[in-house]
Amino acid sequence: METNTWMEQAESHILHTYNRYPVVLDHGEGVYLYDTEGKKYLDFAAGIAVQALGYGNQEYKDALKGQIDKLTHTSNLYYNQPSIEAAEKLCAASGLERVFFTNSGTEAIEGAVKAAKKYAYAKDGATDHEIIAMDHSFHGRSLGALAVTGNAHYREPFEPLPGIVKFAEYNNLESVKRLVNEKTCAVLLETVQGEGGIYPAKEEFLKGIQQLCGEKDILLVLDEIQCGMGRTGHMFAWQKYGVKPDIMACAKALGCGVPVGAFVMTEKVAEASLKPGDHGTTYGGNPFAGAAVSKVLDIFKEQKITEHVQGISGYLAQQLEQIQEEYGFVKERRGIGLMQGLELDPAVPAGEVSTKALEQGLILITAGNNVLRFVPPLVIEKVHVDEMAEKLRKVLSSYL
């Protein structure tokens, strides 16, 4: 079937909530994707930071195929071995003690918010607790996740949204302190803002919030859905800063393509928050998803993925900074590890650049206010960075 026919069929039957790029992807190998016509693309988007191991990892495929032959679903009325193993490994990787597996990142945020509210409710029986979130944040599309997303454009069509949420300025500790009162139950933020434009938290900001939360028994909730799972060169980005959240949300690369998320918490929060009947999910943590998470965590450890990211990310940053020097309309390079962004002058639309890059066989996505986002598979090598830079220069040169 022709590419245009596939796209027309999609537009006839699938709800139009995405403005998709004009390509029908068919399969992947390593860090490359191929469309239905056989064209090859260097992938520097990784399915929005999901495909950390690239495509076709044999260990990963064998683990999933083996689990399909055994059992894919039981519900959470029963124990299953893969999810138990996955939970143990995730706790070990994070240093947190209790896991709840979800089907997505937005569900992980929903659960984290519920746990924070229940923790506060258990203390005083009140139902009017407040959450402090950040401007320009993004936490998901469900109503609860939208309520803590600091972008009015996403929220306004669906208001009123649940809960009482106040928004502080990211990386401005004083703006957080001004919003804290006796009703504040949690401070929620991305350790590195992704959709908002690739903004890492400043160390003094994150440590200041942790100290503030500790003094007032307010829960620190960190969203590591995009920046976690090795992307910054640490298993979770907050580990770079020497802080520790009370609750963490993760997803995306947690399953490397299998839809799975989790919220993870300390034993203290677990004991004083969600109890049987407070939260649940039919699919979350089923044997198939558990097998994916368990094997992903094994591969990360065996192949020393975080060490590899630390080694290659400096080269990526160096190449992006060189591109910034060459093209005056590239305003800034920012990011950590393999989560990088190039902010462009408004006269050069990032969305247009990413479309032209696709024509060159390079997959890039955008973020925030006119930012090119670089979130490739974590297994890229220098040769792939060089190939990306060459293709990107061809696109950017057309704007000179």
DSSP of 327-389: -TTEEEEEEETTEEEEEE-TTS-HHHHHHHHHHTTEE-EEETTTEEEE---TT--HHHHHHHH
Domain stop point among 302, 324, 350: 302
Rounded CA-CA distance 368/90 in Å is 30
pLDDT by residue (tens digit) across 335-348?
999 999 999 999 99
Is the residue at 231 inside a domain?
A: yes
Residue 139, CA atoms < 13 Å, CB-side half-sphere: 32
Domain stop point among 271, 302, 333: 302
Is the residue at 61 inside a domain?
A: no
Q: Are strands 40-43 and 362-363 parallel, antiparallel or unpaired?
A: parallel
Helix (H, G, I), strand (E, B) or coil at 190: strand
What mean pLDDT do residues 131-141 have? Answer: 98
Quote the domain boundaries for residue 371. Answer: 3-56+304-397
Same domain, 154 and 285: yes
Give me 376's structure tokens. Answer: 């490739």
Compute the radius of gyration of the chain from its Cα atoms: 21
Same domain, 292 and 219: yes
Helix (H, G, I), strand (E, B) or coil at 19: coil
Is the residue at 144 inside a domain?
A: yes
Is the residue at 38 inside a domain?
A: yes
| Average pLDDT value for the chain | 97
Is the residue at 389 inside a domain?
A: yes
The predicted structure's pLDDT at residue 395: 98
Give me 101's structure tokens. Answer: 């597996």
**Global pTM?**
0.97
Same domain, 178 and 121: yes
Q: How confident is the model at residue 262 (pLDDT cuts 50, 70, 90)?
A: very high
CATH of the domain at 227: 3.40.640.10
Instruction: Please check the confidence at residue 298 and state whether its pLDDT lies above 90.
Output: yes
Rounded CA-CA distance 124/251 in Å is 32
- Report the share of the chain in percent with pLDDT over 70: 100
The predicted structure's pLDDT at residue 241: 97
Is the residue at 121 inside a domain?
A: yes
Same domain, 312 and 209: no
Same domain, 213 and 271: yes
Same domain, 225 and 107: yes
Instruction: Please check the confidence at residue 157 and state whether its pLDDT lies above 90.
Output: yes
- Report the share of the chain in percent with pLDDT over 90: 99
Is the residue at 64 inside a domain?
A: no
Instruction: Please check the confidence at residue 24 and state whether its pLDDT lies above 80.
Output: yes
Smallest CA-to-CA distance from 82 within 93, 97, 71, 69 is with 71
Same domain, 247 and 380: no
Q: How confident is the model at residue 120 (pLDDT cuts 50, 70, 90)?
A: very high
DSSP designation for 42: E
What mean pLDDT do residues 143-160 have? Answer: 96
Same domain, 135 and 35: no
Smallest CA-to-CA distance from 305 within 12, 114, 53 is with 53
Rounded CA-CA distance 230/52 in Å is 8
Instruction: Please check the confidence at residue 16 and state whether its pLDDT lies above 80.
Output: yes
What mean pLDDT do residues 48-56 have? Answer: 98
Give DSSP secondary structure letters for 100-138.
EEESSHHHHHHHHHHHHHHHHHHHH--S--EEEEEBT--
What mean pLDDT do residues 262-281 have? Answer: 98
CATH of the domain at 30: 3.90.1150.10
**Number of domains into which the chain is organized:** 2
Q: How confident is the model at residue 399 (pLDDT cuts 50, 70, 90)?
A: very high
Domain stop point among 302, 332, 347: 302
Give me 193's structure tokens. Answer: 């803002």
Element (H, E) at 185: strand 184-190
Q: How confident is the model at residue 268 (pLDDT cuts 50, 70, 90)?
A: very high
> Tell me, what amino acid is at 71?
L
pLDDT by residue (tens digit) across 158-210?
999 999 999 999 999 999 999 999 999 999 999 999 999 999 999 999 999 99
375's CB contacts (< 8 A; 6+ apart) are: 44, 45, 46, 48, 49, 226, 231, 338, 339, 340, 365
The predicted structure's pLDDT at residue 1: 72
> Tell me, what amino acid is at 285?
G
The predicted structure's pLDDT at residue 163: 94
What mean pLDDT do residues 26-31 have? Answer: 98
Q: How confident is the model at residue 287 (pLDDT cuts 50, 70, 90)?
A: very high
pLDDT by residue (tens digit) across 309-325?
999 999 999 999 999 99
What mean pLDDT do residues 241-249 have? Answer: 98
The predicted structure's pLDDT at residue 2: 87
- Please state the length of the chain: 400
Give DSSP secondary structure letters for 73-109.
---TTS--HHHHHHHHHHHHHHS--EEEEESSHHHHH
Is the residue at 65 inside a domain?
A: no
The predicted structure's pLDDT at residue 391: 98
245's CB contacts (< 8 A; 6+ apart) are: 96, 220, 221, 222, 238
Same domain, 288 and 369: no
Same domain, 118 and 216: yes
CB 197 within 8 A of CB 368: yes
Could you give the angle at the alpha carbon of 273 between the alpha carbons of 183 and 260, nearest 5°?
110
Same domain, 285 and 238: yes
Same domain, 19 and 101: no
pLDDT by residue (tens digit) across 215-242?
999 999 999 999 999 999 999 999 999 9
